[in-house]
Amino acid sequence: MDLNFFKKTKILDGGMGQELLARGLISKGTLWSASALLEEKFHQLLIDVHVSFINAGADVIVTNNFSSKKIRLIENKVEEKFEYVNQKACELANKAREISKKNILVAGSLPPQNGTYVIDERDINTIKKDFKEQAEIIKPYVDFFYLDVISSAKEIEAACEVTEKMNMPVLVGLHLKKNGKVASGESITEILKKYRSNNWIGLIGACVSLEIIEKSLHEMSNLNIPFGFKANLWKVEEPLPVNKFNTAKFNEIGKNPNDTLGKRDEITNEIFYNFAKNIKDKGANILGGCCNISPEHIKSLSSLK
């Protein structure tokens, strides 16, 4: 792919998991969106959601394997499906691209390999091993890797070492707290200066509130790298960590995370457009969404390209 891809304004997709749930997916245990990969009856639904984001104007769709990390599959006693669900996520994303007949890119999700919104306290070599196993499966199917909602410098170090050895372009997605830093305490600037390599094609605030994005904008604009966001619409500005100690309270069978974290229904398409326009006017080229950002939200951004 063109390593300058994000130097011009590009639209990312929105929240796959919440859109799948809204269209009838039933989550099993703590598998969330991975449930759509395990059950063939949901494969067409997953393709349809990808196509909806493409038709809404997304230049990039992200593979639906955020919940397909090995630790989550072990937790749900389906570890043997690890290769299958990650490969299937890529195949279905590519099928959606084919159906759309549009010249879009497929980003391969490399999510945090333990909990979400929380530091992975494990040994860095263990984290590297987990990233490597998932990355090796999805690499043949994707145009670049997306480090998907990463919360610590150690995880960035591990993931970047893996992806650099694979010589793959990387969009870095940092999950930021209210103080504008990742959970391990480093600033965006510190992470970029320490870990940036030639395969970094952009840097975004990943699954963060509109308010945190606005607070982080000035720092990002001074880093000489294409930047932007994948915003969430949780009611909670700083989501609680989701890990093996508390997933049960978020994820009874069939439970929608909105019931725990809430959803900002007041953020209309027009409000989201005005937010994105303001961010773009201040230099952001990468515009998109995460949890609760629908195809309609993404469509509102299409005129900003």
Per residue in 79-138, pLDDT tens? Answer: 999 999 999 999 999 999 999 999 999 999 999 999 899 999 999 999 999 999 999 999
If one counts every other C-beta atom within 10 angstroms of the C-beta of residue 121, the result is 12
pLDDT band at 243 (very low <50, low <70, confident <90, very high): low
> Would you state the pLDDT for residue 255?
61
User: Structurally, how many domains does the chain consist of?
Assistant: 1
- Domain residues for the domain of 288 are 5-304
Q: Which of 30-34, 224-228, 257-261 has maximum average pLDDT?
A: 224-228
Q: What is the pLDDT of residues 183-212, one digit of tens each?
A: 999 999 999 999 999 999 999 999 999 999
User: Which whole number is the average pLDDT over 128-151?
Assistant: 98
Helix (H, G, I), strand (E, B) or coil at 21: helix
Q: At residue 253, does pLDDT exceed 50? A: no
Tokens of 264: 């900002």
> Would you state the pLDDT for residue 4?
95
What is the rounded CA–CA span in Å between residue 80 and residue 68? Answer: 11
CATH, residue 56? 3.20.20.330
Percentage of the chain beyond pLDDT 70 is 94
What is the rounded CA–CA span in Å between residue 60 and residue 53? Answer: 9
Q: What is the pLDDT of residues 206-222, one digit of tens each?
A: 999 999 999 999 999 99
- Where does residue 22 rank: exposed (0-12), middle (13-18), buried (19+ CB within 10 A)? middle
What is the rounded CA–CA span in Å between residue 157 and residue 160? Answer: 5
* Helix, strand and coil in the chain, % to nearest 5: 50, 15, 35
Inter-CA distances, 26 with 30, 35, 68, 218, 227, Å: 11, 7, 16, 40, 34
- Strand spans (E) along the chain: 10-11, 60-62, 105-110, 144-150, 170-174, 200-208, 227-231, 286-289
